[in-house]
Amino acid sequence: MRTSQFLISTLKEDPKEAAVESHRLMLRAGMIRQIASGIYTWLPTGMRVLSKVQNIVREEMDKTGALEIAMPMVQPAELWKESGRYTKYGPELCRFTDRKENEFALGPTHEEVVTDIARREIKSARQLPICLYQMQNKFRDEIRPRFGVMRGREFLMKDAYSFHMDKESLNKTYQDMYDAYSRVFTRMGLEFRPVEADTGSIGGNHSHEFQALAEAGEDTIAWSDGSSYAANIEMAEALAPTYDRAAPGAEYSEVATPGCHTVDEAAKALGIESNQVLKSLIVHGEKKEDGSNELVMICLRGNHELNEVKAIKIPGIADPLEMATEEEINNFTNAHTGSLGPVGFKGRILVDRTADKMANFACGANKTGFHLINVNWDRDVPSYEVFDLRNVEDGDPSPDGKGTLHLRKGIEVGQVFMLGTKYSEAMKATVKDETGKDVPMIMGCYGIGVTRAIAAVIEQHHDERGIIWPESIAPFKVAIIAIKPSKSQEVKDVAENLYAELQKAGVDVIYDDRDERPGVMFADIELMGIPHIITIGEKSLKDGVIEYKLRKTGEKETIPVNDALKTIMSKFEN
């Protein structure tokens, strides 16, 4: 490709809307452009990367024996009603009606559609197992689209769905997909960790996420330094402390804490550490028949954070988690949010395992502007339930009993789920077993965020000059920069010749023939992250050499013109 025939859309200035490096660099390198919030066009440079990633994904999927299909993006609401998700999925599901008032949704995922296909097409258990996949744009009306294609509203996903007669067969395909995902992300040059994960709105009972390690990640993963344990913090169990609760001391008493709204403010006013203060939050219980919500108190040690995923798994708690409003709290307790506590609280009280070990602690008095000190469980709060409710922290013991947990930020680039029969039962996707009985097929589903994974690669591979693509997915593998070819026939001839040779050898090469200032061309090529850069100038040609630079390390060397092709090709990783 010649730059004169290509669309180079690099930007000199940093775009203001970009909060993370990958977003900034994808805009600056001319890969993507936003057309509406969370909705992007992929320009030619971006598209070349996207195609290469798609090829890798397709190759690895095909290796597992999965079969490619293309399902529609527009899905009849009927199917979502059958599965029960039409009401449950929430406002991320974009719903609309056609001119005949038929209801539809834009597919955020395809369990319903593929289960419908399976129940129609799969007639006999002998056709199982089967795995169907597609690569297709998904639409999720995300509440906060951000970070460019990392959290878009329209984004490209590879989604696969497998169907089985028995659990063993599902286990095998799950492992095949897990291995294929590991190969995909390795080939893309990502540093990643598979971690145990929650199943969220997709459902099922066993799942792993593939997390690309990056500070810009929205997820936190916990990993053990003493074993292979790794989990999304949503799932990581905080073990109950092994020490005993201290014995209660003096009776509790009330202390004025005017203007204290947070645990830290109360601790300071009381002259104690925040881990001696109880944090009390009020959430909604499940909706009652009259539409109202019971209010439930959740108690944590002052310096701990509530884990919402753990909370919604407790029976009787609203899913998704809803915090009680200030008004509801005032009506129920006569106090403001900053002065809540379990003593005398009239509703259900859930206590975190570590908070349960606190003794002689401080908490809100359910009276605005007051706290209680020397409070003790049982003696002062006779009725409460203990659960694992908090996020694990760096230094906590690993839940498998081996080693200590540490935390890192991750970008979720893929997830694999064992679904079981959630969809096949609801939608009657059955096959006959050997006794002739109709049994629901057992399912798995497997997603890769193709466009998000590209942003994750950039988060891991960039410097102050721009993107540093791994060779496997670079828009071009080699760039030739010709310096003032209009002024030197020799420069022009050598550049044209090398360009032709590289093309003939099947190398993805971009030839910068814009006749721009060298600095401009170099800046663009480095910004675009081309791994191997050749500069051809009149001066070095006098010595019979051209200049080679490896983008990744910045190392430069001169190579003889008559040996150029061979030397450049010897630099390739593959």
Contacts with ligand ATP by CB under 6 A lie at 109, 140, 142, 151-152, 155, 157, 200, 202, 412-415, 447, 449, 451-452
Note whether 9 binds Mg ion by CB under 5 A.
Answer: no
398 binds Mg ion (CB under 5 A): no
| 192 C-beta neighbours (distance < 10 Å), count | 25
In the list ligand ATP, Mg ion, none, the entry touching 109 (Cβ below 5 to 8 angstroms by class) is ligand ATP
**Judged by CB under 5 A, does residue 109 bind Mg ion?**
no
Q: Give the end-to-end CA distance of the chain in Å, rounded to a whole number.
A: 21
Burial category of 151 from C-beta neighbours within 10 Å (exposed 0-12, middle 13-18, buried 19 and up): buried
Least separation in angstroms between residue 108's CB and ligand ATP is 8
Query: Least distance (Å) from Mg ion to the CB of residue 101?
Result: 33
Residues 6+ apart with CB under 8 A from 561: 494, 541, 544, 545, 546
Q: What is the nearest approach in angstroms of ligand ATP to the Cβ of residue 244?
A: 39
In the bound complex, which residue of the shown chain has the CB atom lying closest to Mg ion?
A: 415
Look up residue 62 and give its two tokens: 């095909």
Kindly state the number of chain residues that form the binding site for Mg ion, as judged by CB under 5 A: 1
Q: Which residues pair with 138 in a beta bridge?
A: 155
CB of 311 to ligand ATP, least distance (A): 17
CB of 150 to ligand ATP, least distance (A): 6
Report the distance separating Cα 173 and Cα 416, nearest Å: 10
Which range of residues in 28-36, 415-423, 453-461, 562-570 is near Mg ion by CB under 5 A? 415-423
Token pair, residue 225, equals 């330094």
CB of 449 or CB of 531, closer to ligand ATP: 449
151 binds, among ligand ATP, Mg ion, none (CB under 5 to 8 A by kind): ligand ATP
CA angle in degrees (0–180, nearest 5) for 481-482-488: 170
251-310 residues near Mg ion, rule: CB under 5 A: none
CB 71 within 8 A of CB 118: no
Residues in contact with 14: Cβ distance below 8 Å, sequence separation at least 6, in sequence order: 24, 28
Q: Do the Cβ atoms of 316 and 296 come closer than 8 Å?
A: yes
| 415 binding Mg ion? (CB under 5 A) | yes
Instruction: Indicate the residue among 345 and 446 with the shorter CB distance to Mg ion.
Output: 446
Contact 254, 371 (CB under 8 A): yes
- The amino acid sitting at 297 is M
Give the H or E element holding residue 53: helix 44-63
The amino acid at residue 539 is: K
Is there binding between residue 211 and Mg ion (CB under 5 A)? no
State the nearest-atom distance from the C-beta of 90 to ligand ATP, in Å.
Answer: 11
* Closer by beta carbon to Mg ion, 200 or else 344: 200
Cis bond leading into 44, ω under 30°? Answer: no
Task: Estimate the crossing angle of helix 450-460 against helix 21-28, to 10 degrees.
Answer: 100
* 413, interface contact from ligand ATP, Mg ion, none, CB < 5-8 Å by kind: ligand ATP
Residue 414 binds what, of Mg ion, ligand ATP, none (CB under 5 to 8 Å, by partner type)? Answer: ligand ATP
Rank residues 8 and 132 by Cβ distance to ligand ATP and give the closer one.
132
Q: How far is the CB of 150 from Mg ion (least distance, A)?
A: 13
* Shortest spacing between CB 338 and ligand ATP, in angstroms: 31
Residue 424 beta carbon to Mg ion: minimum distance, rounded to whole angstroms:
21
Q: In angstroms, rounded to a whole number, what is the distance separating the alpha carbons of residues 353 and 340?
A: 19
45 near Mg ion (CB under 5 A):
no
The residue (of 201 and 374) whose beta carbon lies closer to Mg ion is 201
Q: Where are the beta strands (DSSP E) in 69-153?
A: 74-76, 95-97, 103-106, 130-139
| Residue 336-375 contact track with Mg ion, rule CB under 5 A, x = bound | ----------------------------------------
Tell me the two tokens of residue 347. 């509703």
Q: Which is nearer to ligand ATP, 365 or 416 (CB)?
A: 416
Alpha-helix residue ranges (DSSP H) falling in 275-346: 308-312, 326-333
Query: Residue numbers of the site for Mg ion (CB under 5 A)?
Result: 415
